[in-house]
Each structure stands twice: as structure tokens, then as C-alpha cells.
Amino acid sequence: MFRVIMSVASLSVSLILALAVSPPVADAADAIKICMPGALTGPAGVYGINHQRAAVMAIEEINAKGGIQGAKLELIVRDDEADPTKAVTVVRELAEKLDCAVLIGYTSSNAGLALVRPIHELKIPFFNFGAVGTAIVENGRKPNYIFRYSPSDREQARFVVDWVVTKRNIRKIGILYENTGHGEGGRADAAAHLKDRFGLAFVGQEYFNRGDTDFTPQLSRVRAAGAEALAYWAPSADAAHVVRSMDKMSWKVPFVGNWGLGAPDLPRLAGPLANGIFVPQDFLFSEQEGAKGERKREILRKYEAQYKETIVNPSPFAQTLDGMHIIAKVLSGIPDAAKMPLAKLRDRFRDDLENFDEYDGLVAHIKKPFTPDQHEAITYKQLFMTSWQDGKLVRVKE
């Protein structure tokens, strides 16, 4: 048992019950606080709840085995609604008022980009299991307090471009992206790799604004430019409107995006039109062969018993589970971590994570993944292509 502290702008009664807040443990004063900013409500809430539930499961496992040298891990969660301004306020509160040792998450690349400056001003380590914006981690800071255990936009762009050109033999590609830092960053990463690897350029590049529902003008221009495949860099909820517009135009070409299209709101909002949308992933619970099959089945049993539903968005869930166990392994190597002055603990954790040795996780078996100049643990080599089929992500057989 451990303590989860929640604070959100608005949560439904059913969600509050689903979070299953545990009572305080007796030694809560000596607990090491792991803090998760991110969206639990709003359009990005599906991502935040996924991260939060995985973190809860991992901390239960860690505390059941004695915690960190006898001290419990305590999870503190704050809802920032994926709003960049609110995200900065939340992170400052977590770091300055609530004695958080490590930040985890994150649900939004746009808000994550806004956190780079305050995180380094506060000198608090941030282990990111979700937000993929390349510049969040590749931020030019030394020392860098942000690490990532998820595939960056650059790695995903490399994989997506290679897959479309080499596996689908398509060289005329258009791209549709949201008019934000995340969308533009993904577009730039994909365009750079398309040029450097294949000497090609997107035949059409179109952006849209959040809240748009009719994509016919942008799609018509991309189709007129001769696109034989459509790349997409934006949230999954908007993709439902895109495929409706494509259906209305009777335009059917391969539609492939970043891993955000793996969120369960896409098939829920798009219905059968989601079938066949291609999504890069680095993990699937449905593949249970091999040594890690029983571990996957155990996780699914626990999750479904507690939440009465299955895990639909597998990659970020598994990344959070792995990441929390990596955090525990690093903290366990710090003598008297729970009693160390907070500023010293944060710096020691950052330094030790940068020199982390090895972990064989659900997503990847990593060996010395980080250096002072490189804080990305997952590369394009861990990725594979999936597609939506009747509400489930299924690996594409090449």
C-alpha cells in the first residue's frame, strides 16, 4: 500500500473511484516523493490516466518488495490539462512546495516544451515516459535534467519515413500536421530524414489549427500534389476528423502517423474508419510469446481486475512501468536516499541516471543508455508498425 495524492481541476466520480487512492502509510514522512504533472482531464486526459495507472502499479510492486532501503515511494499527481502555462505552474508547485525528488510523465509535447526552462531553473530531474517532442530532451542544457524512455519524434519520423518508402515502395508522400511546436517539430524531423536518406521532399505539406473539423481543403491540395501516402503529426482526436474528410472525398491512401495515433480515443471517435491507420509502437501486450509473456499476462490480469477494462494504449503504459522500476533501481543505489537533503538527492539521482548501467524491461533491454550528451533510451530500432483493426492495435506483417 502507498499514498497517492491527487489534485485535478475536475474529475468525475467514476474516475475518482477508479484511481483507488490508498490510505497513508505509517512511515509516510520518510517516503520519497515521485511527482507526475500532466493531463488527467481534457482531450489529453486519456494519456495522463494511462501514465498514472502504470505508475500506481509499478509503485505498488516496488513498495511490496520493501521500497527504497525500507522507505516507501509516494506518488503525487497534478492535472495541468496539457496547458503549457498551467504545466509550468504545476511543476513549480511540485518542486518548490511538495518536496518532489523526481518528476515523471509526460502527456503533451507542447506543454513539455514549456517545461524545459523551469525544470533546469529548479534543477529537478524529469524522467519522461511519453512526450515525444525532440527538443524536450535535446535542449542544449548542460547538465541536462531531462531524460526520456520513449521514442522521440526524430526516431519515430525516421522509422515512419523508412517504412513508407522501403516497405510500401511509396515516394510521393504528403504530410498533415498541427500548427504547434509539436506538429512543426515532427514535420521538420520527417522532412529532414526524407531528404537526407532518400533525396526526397514531401509533395504536399499542410497544417491545421486545433479545433478544426473539416480537413477537405488541406487534403484536396495534398491529393492534387500527387501524394500516394499521408503522414500525420498531431493528436489522435483530430485524426478522427481527418479520416472522415478523407472518406467524404473518397480518397484512400496509406495513412500513417506518430505513436499518438495509438490512443484509444481514435477508434472510439472514428469507428470503422480507424481500421487500417498505421501507428508505430514499441510494445504490445497482445504478443505474449517468450520469456516476458507471463509478466504481460500478470499485468493485464491486475489491470483488468482493478479497472474493469483492458489496456488499449500499450506503449506508454509499458514505458511508465519500466521507467518507474529504473527510477527505483537508481534510488536504491543511493545510500540513505530518503534522508538525503532534497537538492543533493535530485543532483545525485540525475548523475546516477546518466550513468545507469542496465535494465531488461518490457519495452527494451537497455545497456548504458545515457551519456552526458545523450538522454534518449529508445531508438527507431525498437519500433515496429501496427495498424488499428476493430479497436485493437495489431502488428503489421511485413
Q: Domain ranges for the chain, please list them.
A: 4-151+293-367, 154-281+383-395
Average pLDDT for 185-213: 96
For residues 174-196, average pLDDT: 96
Whether the pLDDT of residue 24 is over 90: the answer is: no
Question: Where is average pLDDT lowest: 17-26, 323-332, 371-380?
Answer: 17-26
* C-alpha cell, 47: 494519456
**Which residue type, as a one-letter code, is found at position 39?**
A
pLDDT the model gives residue 22: 38
Q: Give the mean model confidence (pLDDT) for residues 365-383.
A: 96
| Cell numbers placing 293 | 509473456
By mean pLDDT, which of 9-13, 152-156, 256-260 is the weakest? 9-13
pLDDT grade for 290, boundaries at 50, 70 and 90: confident
**What is the mean pLDDT of the segment spanning 387-396?**
95
Q: Answer yes or no: CATH 2.102.10.10 is held by domain 154-281+383-395.
A: no
The four Cα atoms 265, 268, 270, 275 give a dihedral, to 10 degrees, of 100
Q: What is the mean pLDDT of the chain?
A: 91
* Structure confidence by residue, pLDDT tens digits, 56-109: 999 999 999 999 999 999 999 999 999 999 999 999 999 999 999 999 998 889
The pTM (predicted TM-score) of the whole model is 0.90
Lowest mean pLDDT among 229-233, 311-315, 317-321: 311-315
Residues sharing a CB contact under 8 Å with residue 341, sequence separation 6 or more, in sequence order = none
**pLDDT (mean) for 381-390:** 96
pLDDT at residue 4, rounded to an integer: 60
Answer yes or no: is pLDDT of 10 > 60: no
Greater confidence (26 vs 257) lies with: 257
**What is d(CA 19, CA 3) in angstroms, rounded to the nearest whole number?**
11
Altogether, the residues listed in the chain come to a count of: 398
The topology under which CATH files domain 4-151+293-367 is Rossmann fold (3.40.50)
**How confident is the model at residue 6, as a pLDDT?**
57
Same fold, 4-151+293-367 and 154-281+383-395: yes
For residue 47, what pLDDT is reported?
A: 87
Task: List, for residues 151-160, the tens digit of each pLDDT value.
Answer: 999 999 999 9
Q: How far apart are the first and last CA of the chain?
A: 44
Which of 7-11, 19-23, 233-237, 343-347 has maximum average pLDDT? 343-347
